[in-house]
Amino acid sequence: MMTDTDITSPVMDGMGPHGTKVGLLRVLGPAHVWALGVGIVLVGEYMGWNFAVGKGGAYAALIACWFAGILYTCVAMIDSEVTSTVAAAGGQYTQAKHIVGPLMAFNVGLYLVFAYTMLEAANAITAGYLFFVVAQMSGHAGDLDQRPFIILVIMFLAWLNYRGVLATLTFNLVITAIAFVAILVLFVSTSGILGGGIMQHAALFEGHELPYGWIGVLAAMHFGLWYYLGIEGTTQAAEEVRSPARALPFGTLAGIMTLLIAATLTWYICSGVLPWEFLGDGVNGAVAPLFSTAQLAGSTGLVWLLGFGTLFATLASANGCINDASRAWFAMGRDKYLPGWFGAVHPKYRTPYRSIVFLVPIALIFALGAPLDQVITFSILSGLLEYTFMPLNIIMFRKKWPLNSIKRGYEHPFHPLPALTLLALCGITFFAVFLGYGTQLVAMIGFYIVVSLWFHFWRYRFVNRGTQFTMPWPKPQGY
Amino acid sequence: MDLWNWLEYAAWALSALFGLYMVVDWLKTDSSYSEDVLTSSREGELEAMTEEEHRG
């Protein structure tokens, strides 16, 4: 046991020349990065994306799926370039700190923590609901109390995260892979490839091509994000992968490719079986559309597989969110953007244990006390603000440190086209969100303005100004 | 009392157990190591180590 906890051993990694006596453990490979990114997102294929169908019909959901796909491909490419160069915990927060400035970094850090903690709460609510449905299906008399299951999901996953990153993300790899394979199996067995297809696209779409016209397509963009929201979370693993320059771009780009396939297949399967009025109503209609499709396919095996797929996707997402929110919170603590107390690493498990424990009650409060759609909206809005920051970030990065000044692990093609595309798509999505959730959008931006003032006039005096820039980079161009 | 009622109790109990584990371990860790060691993590270790090797 002693050897496990001997943090003064010179052979243990994490011992560094800066004086790090105990740091995060570099144990992850590209597959874990993939599992972190896809794991957070895949629940969006199992539920949530179908609200886009309700906003504008099945075709609108497909257009939104591909437009959001372009948006997130830009996100993944930009992220891969920057994070393979700024490979530290905190992800986009750390990127903002090095490239834009402290106030931007503080805001981006909060976007990250809110987006992931809210999504974690939403996933826990969903998991509780799944247990409720299973109890009803198995003939339970009376209503199941969902609270113990919601709390158990958060507690178990926080415990897993507390105990070490390798087990956490290996667990994510297994359950994410099962959830993804479940979609492939459902596609193969219902599309007619193996005989006996049940797809009725032509009949179901006739007369309902675009029920609300092109404004419906625009409104659908809001939920089109649902197919991919969270893929940018791969960057939070930067300080724990063995080879950041290779594993981060590899895992992130493989992740977005997986999601483009999963999203398109999901749309194809569900829209070919479920009528759009039912599919588009995620509250009283198809709560979990892939599962509903499996039920209609008439195979008990498929029902079980997609049932487990739904639960696993939900757990994988909550698990990844705990991992990412705690890394962002930890990185902010380490730089004293927040109290330095949060910047602690567990000497044995090598995880940011205080940040993990601190965020548990916050997730519980939202999971037990707030309605699901509000929690999700808060998460999407924080994510959207983060995507708006990314194009500005990459443009400044390329300008201050051109390609020949720092070696990148990955260089994304066609710059500045992806950045400008991303910026334009973010603008469209902001408008789409404004149509549906204007009040929340204004309230949220108001919140970030207030905390920015707090940071500028009060908190910034505690920041470690000298030691927060750690990358051995040359002076930026023009300075 | 059917199976699901028992599962409810089991979920409450397990949640408490996981929570307790984290809190006890957290307090134990905080009391057995100095704050200096626990918060000694610095960003950019990998880059700094590579630099060191190049110089060495």
Mutate to test the interface with B, among A21, A162, A242, A336 (most CBs of B within 10 A): A21
Q: Which residues of B touch A (CB under 8 A)?
A: 2-4, 8-9, 11-12, 14-15, 18-19, 21-23, 25-26, 29, 33, 35-49, 51-52
Residue pair A17/B52 in contact (Cβ under 8 Å)? The answer is yes
What count of residues does chain A have?
479
In tens digits, what is the pLDDT along chain A, a chain of 479 residues?
A: 333 333 333 443 433 445 678 899 999 999 999 999 999 999 999 998 999 999 999 999 999 999 999 999 999 999 999 998 888 899 999 999 999 999 999 999 999 999 999 999 999 999 999 999 999 988 888 889 999 999 999 999 999 999 999 999 999 999 999 999 999 999 999 998 887 789 999 999 988 889 999 999 998 988 898 899 999 999 999 999 999 889 999 999 999 999 999 999 999 999 999 999 999 998 888 999 999 999 999 899 999 999 999 999 999 999 999 999 999 999 999 999 999 999 999 999 999 999 999 999 999 999 999 888 788 888 888 999 999 999 999 999 999 999 988 888 899 999 999 999 999 989 988 888 888 888 988 999 999 999 999 999 999 999 987 777 777 788 888 87
Residue pair A280/A62 in contact (Cβ under 8 Å)? The answer is no
CATH number of A32-462: 1.20.1740.10
Residue A28, helix vs strand vs coil: strand
CB neighbours of A145 closer than 8 A, spacing ≥ 6?
A: B8
Q: In 10 A of CB A218, how many CB atoms?
A: 20
Residue contacts between A and B (CB atoms, under 8 Å): 132
| Pairwise CA distance, residues A36 & A58, whole Å | 29
Both tokens of residue B4? 């699901």
**With left for phi above 0 and alpha for psi between -120 and 50, is residue A474 left, alpha or beta?**
beta
Taking the mean position of all CA atoms in its chain, how far away is CA A445? 21
Q: Where are the domains of chain A?
A: 32-462
- Considering only CB atoms, A17 lies closest to which of B21, B40, B48, namely B48
**Interface predicted TM-score of the whole assembly (ipTM), two decimals:** 0.88
A335 DSSP 8-state letter: T
CB contact under 8 A, A239 and B43: yes
Residue pair A328/A108 in contact (Cβ under 8 Å)? The answer is no
Mutate to test the interface with A, among B29, B37, B42 (most CBs of A within 10 A): B42
Both tokens of residue A141? 């008399």
